[in-house]
Amino acid sequence: MITLRRCVERGHADHGWLETYHSFSFADYHDPAHMGVGNLRVINEDRIAPGTGFGTHGHRDMEIVSYVLEGALAHRDSMGNGQPASAGDGAHAGVIRAGDVQRMSAGTGVRHSEFNHDPQTSTHFLQIWIVPRERGIAPGYEQRHFDDAAKRGRLALVAAPDGRDGALTIHADASIRAALLDGDERIELALDPVRIGYVFVARGSVHLNGRPLAQGDAARLDQEPRLVLEQGRGAEVLVFDLAPLH
């Protein structure tokens, strides 16, 4: 069974410095019918105005993945990422740019800020929250670049529990794949019928199992043997493999 959720059905807020669309209930947007899918709790499509950003705030017990579509975002946190690095401390630069994927495990608690320092260009990115396998783990941080070639006409694994194939390691029973599709490019992926598949179109348009999807559209797949992505037009697509929550 495939259940569609169109982009216009999402929650929306415009704070001036931030325009955001919520696929699931978040902040002032609340819809009991859309609280998440399996262990996927949040997909926010955010655009941050030039010279603005999120001030320092806290999280705990959540796997938070940021997927940058356009622009750049400067990250700083209480783990030392984004701070000036002293010799040998191994701190990350903390800036994520288009094509970068960042994972922050909030665990026992972390505070961070995210800022668009560019004076002219907005930052467009997806903020994704996934419920972890266990609470109270040590906070952690990781970022990696996935160039267009890695995603062109194929589903590149960008996050997985075991960090295989160059993916980020997330402490959750879930994986995220990303693909770019145009023209005759076609992708098939076998699905586990006891799990949940979720497809989100970040840009462009594509057909999923014969159904047309546009930017911001999403589809939940239950007990489907496979998914087929084709007829892409400037499409950038995320595919989630998720654990049901009981």
Report the CATH number that the domain containing residue 78 is assigned in CATH: 2.60.120.10
β 156-160/168-169 pair status: parallel
DSSP designation for 104: E
Taking residues 90-101, report their average pLDDT: 76
Q: What residues form DSSP beta bridges with 53?
A: 115
Q: What is the rounded distance in angstroms from the CA atom of residue 159 to the CA atom of residue 143?
A: 10
Q: Residue 78: what pLDDT?
A: 83
Q: Residue 80: what pLDDT?
A: 80
Domain that holds residue 155: 2-242
In this structure, are residues 246 and 197 in contact, taking their beta carbons and an 8 Å threshold? no
Q: Residue 13: what pLDDT?
A: 96
Q: Residue 89: what pLDDT?
A: 41
Tens of pLDDT, residues 162-179 = 999 899 999 999 999 999
- Percent of all residues in the chain with a pLDDT value above 90, rounded to a whole number: 80
Q: What is the rounded distance in angstroms from the CA atom of residue 192 to the CA atom of residue 82?
A: 39
Question: At a CB cut-off of 8 Å and minimum separation 6, what does 113 contact?
Answer: 53, 54, 55, 56, 57, 75, 76, 77
The total of structural domains in the chain comes to 1
In this structure, are residues 77 and 111 in contact, taking their beta carbons and an 8 Å threshold? yes
Tens of pLDDT, residues 110-154 = 988 888 988 899 999 999 999 999 999 999 999 999 999 999 999
User: Confidence class of residue 44 from pLDDT cuts 50, 70 and 90?
Assistant: very high
User: Confidence class of residue 83 from pLDDT cuts 50, 70 and 90?
Assistant: low
Model-wide pTM > 0.85: yes
Q: What is the rounded distance in angstroms from the CA atom of residue 126 to the CA atom of residue 65?
A: 8
Q: What is the mean pLDDT of the chain?
A: 92
In this structure, are residues 179 and 236 in contact, taking their beta carbons and an 8 Å threshold? yes
* 184 dihedral zone (left: phi>0; alpha: psi -120 to 50; beta): alpha
Nearest of 181, 174, 176, 175 to residue 154 by alpha carbon: 181
Taking residues 64-93, report their average pLDDT: 73
Q: Residue 88: what pLDDT?
A: 38
- Percent of all residues in the chain with a pLDDT value above 70, rounded to a whole number: 95
User: Confidence class of residue 246 from pLDDT cuts 50, 70 and 90?
Assistant: low
